[in-house]
Amino acid sequence: GAVALGDVRRERAGRREATRELDALDRAAAVQLGRQVVRLHRGRLLREREDLKRQWNEALAKVDALLTPGTATTAPRVEEIDQKGSAAIYTRAINLVDWCALALPNGFSSTGLPTSLQIACRGYDEAIALRIGWAFEQATPWHTRTPSL
């Protein structure tokens, strides 16, 4: 027989609500699992991070600043952006060891997309990074240019 439109709408609404509840449960389970993993490994991970920071600072003890690319690739085109990966390998390493950093434009790729320079310094040495960045901008035109898209 014929099914009333109201019945179909109620059924769809019920399915949507069930899906939302399941998604909420999945998120809650994932958060709970994450908390358990963090509790199990937090102390070890913090000790490893402190050891890494000590090694990093010892190796770079005579260095005022570390200059690296800002990202591993040029800036992606908007249509190429996704949240699955990151070109931020250099910035993440600096964050991990508690250094500060400044990123500045430093050119364009052969495809016309911008590239960047990262100026990293020990934590709380922001003034050094800013002075180096200012000097770089005075010596180069990159901060005044925009890509032609």
Residue whose structure tokens are 């490893």: 48
Strands 114-121 and 66-69: antiparallel
pLDDT given for residue 45 in this prediction? 86
Gap between the Cα atoms of 62 and 143, Å rounded: 29
pLDDT in tens, 2-52: 556 666 566 677 667 766 665 666 777 777 777 777 777 888 888 999 999
Residue 136: pLDDT band (50, 70, 90) is: very high
132 close to 65: Cβ distance less than 8 angstroms: yes
β-pairing verdict for 100-108 and 114-121:
antiparallel
Residue pLDDT, tens place only, 48-104: 999 999 999 999 999 999 999 998 888 777 777 776 667 778 888 999 999 999 999
- pLDDT at residue 9, rounded to an integer: 67
Distance CA 139, CA 134 (A): 9
If we measure between CA atoms, which residue out of 142, 118, 29 comes closest to residue 67? 118
More confident site: 1 or 15? 15
Residue with the two structure tokens 């495809």: 111
Residue keyed to tokens 């508690």: 98
Q: What is the pLDDT of residue 77?
A: 72
Q: Which residues pair with 104 in a beta bridge?
A: 117
For residue 9, count other CB atoms closer than 10 A to its CB.
Answer: 10
Give the model's confidence band at 1: pLDDT under 50 very low, under 70 low, under 90 confident, else very high: very low
Average pLDDT of span 112-136: 95
| Structure confidence at residue 113 (pLDDT) | 86
